[in-house]
Amino acid sequence: MSTNYRWVIVFAGALMGCVAVGTMFSLAIFLEPIATDTGWSHAGISSAMTLNFIVMGLGGFLWGAASDRYGARIVVLIGAVLLGLALVLASRVESLFLFQLVYGCLVGLSASAFFAPMIAVTMGWFDEHRSLAVSLVSAGMGMAPMTISPFARWLISAYDDWRMAMLLIGIGAWILLLPTAFLVRSPPVAAAAGPASAPQAGGAGMPLSKVFRSPQFLVLGFTFFACCAAHSGPIFHMVSYAMFCGIAPMAAVTIYSVEGAAGLGGRILYGVLADKFGVKPVLVAGLLIQAAVISAYTLASDLTQFYTLAIIFGGTYGGVMPLYAVLAGEYFAPKILGTVLGAATMLSSIGMAFGPLAGGWAFDQFNNYNWLFIGSALVGLGAVLIALAFPPLPRREQLQAA
């Protein structure tokens, strides 16, 4: 198979990431319409997102391991079927508990089927420019606020019905994801060996239990956890926070979109910088910038200030996210990369789970979001401190001999 096909893999991964992340995070756009229509509390609706991240973390580990064993295509195909079904069902439920169960569990389970398998298979296709390829796949996730979120807001306005909007997004997810899943192919070497031949160990037979106790994985996983715990609340509640500050609803959505647009550039910029200066120093610098800009949101009051911060915030959190996969690829053998990425994603998703619920609780208790941003900034500084403990990057030969 021509190695030019690797760019088709990049396209497929970017598109599926965009749809999966976009549909999941569209709950931020649905938050106010659902609360207004149903009378459910902000914290109650936001807790569906918290469940989403928890289930996404567990699912990411399972899907990553499954992709190592059976290949990425079957995993993303199952995820595509489940994601559309989850949104269709969530649009029909009549109680908060059922909404939390369906949206929180089924959307999280299905959305987690895309990240680890597609990042792992993309890294298998690329020997050179691997950081750029991973960043481009991740850039698809960054496109979600510019695509799915405005589309969701337009549907809600057009139909004046959040249920119809969510139903149509679920059907659209099927239309986009199911054909794209069939474009996914294993890299030539892995295809020749067969997906089932992947061992359940590291490069030289290292047991997974040892891999997960290694300093490389522990620092990687907990930095990822703290990073996501820091930015999840500000991301999820940004639209509601801007509206609370007096920004019109559609303009508030554009702030979310600006973050996504900045994330595209940030992913490419940070990928290029990581290739030039090294992954670890670029990651630490990005985490420091992220913590600073989160705290600055407490001072924002008009649309210009929100846009300025959104560019920095989106570019930074978007830029650092692919670097965790690049570090994993440097530390661990390719045949267990899906499992390792799934485990790291599980920790990051648990971190992501705190923000939406904490923000909803803070708003319900204090009628403002200041404590959300202050707490998130402190957690972001914690991520910086953890990242400073990253072990030196080993040569592949050294890792296999470990």
Instruction: Specify if 83 maps to a domain.
Output: yes
d(CA 14, CA 219): 27
Q: What is the pLDDT of residue 142?
A: 67
Integer Cα distance of 99 and 90 in angstroms:
6
Give the whole-angstrom CA distance, residue 186 versus residue 4: 13
Indicate the pLDDT class of residue 345, thresholds 50, 70 and 90: confident
Residue of 317, 319, 327 lying closest to 351 (CA atoms): 317
Predicted local distance difference test score (pLDDT) of residue 193: 47
Report residue 24: phi and psi, to 5°: -65, -50
Query: What is the SS3 assignment for 207?
Result: strand
- Asked if the model's pLDDT at residue 394 lies above 70, the reply is no
Using DSSP, state whether 201 is helix, strand or coil: strand
What average pLDDT score do residues 206-211 get?
A: 73
| Three-class DSSP category at 248 | coil
Longest dimension (CA), the chain: 61
What pLDDT was estimated at residue 395?
52
pLDDT of 205: 53
146 token code pair = 């510019």
In a 10 Å sphere around its CB, with 0-12 CB exposed, 13-18 middle and 19+ buried, how is residue 11 labelled?
middle
Alpha carbons 170 and 155: distance in angstroms, whole number: 12
Reading the block at residue 116, the tokens are 């680890």
Q: Is residue 190 part of a domain?
A: no
**The domain containing residue 144 runs over which residues?**
3-184+202-401
Tokens of 384: 């910086």
Q: Quick check: 249 and 243 in contact, CB under 8 A?
A: yes
Tens of pLDDT, residue by residue over 22-55, are: 888 888 888 889 988 888 888 788 788 778 878 8
Q: How confident is the model at residue 259 (pLDDT cuts 50, 70, 90)?
A: confident
- pLDDT band at 393; cut points 50, 70, 90: low
Q: Which pair of structure tokens corresponds to residue 372?
A: 């959300």
What pairs with residue 201 in β-bridges? 207
pLDDT of residue 294: 93
Q: Is the pLDDT confidence value at 57 over 60?
A: yes
Number of domains comprising the chain: 1
Q: Is residue 338 part of a domain?
A: yes
Are the CB atoms for 56 and 349 separated by under 8 Å? yes
Q: How confident is the model at residue 145 (pLDDT cuts 50, 70, 90)?
A: low
282 close to 273: Cβ distance less than 8 angstroms: yes
pLDDT digits (tens, 9 = 90+) for 9-28: 989 998 998 898 888 888 88
Query: What's the rounded Cα separation, in Å, for the pair 195 and 185?
Result: 11
Q: What is the mean pLDDT of residues 237-254?
A: 82
Average pLDDT score, the chain: 83
Crossing angle of helices 144-159 and 6-25, in 10° steps, is 40
Query: Is 81 contained in some domain?
Result: yes
Angle at CA of residue 96, ends 92 and 102, nearest 5°? 55
CATH of the domain at 358: 1.20.1250.20
> Distance between CA atoms of 334 and 343, rounded to whole angstroms?
15
pLDDT at res. 206: 63
Q: For 275-298, write each residue's pLDDT tens digit.
A: 788 888 999 999 999 999 999 988
Structure confidence by residue, pLDDT tens digits, 85-94: 999 999 999 8
Q: Look at residue 249 and tell me if it is in a domain.
A: yes
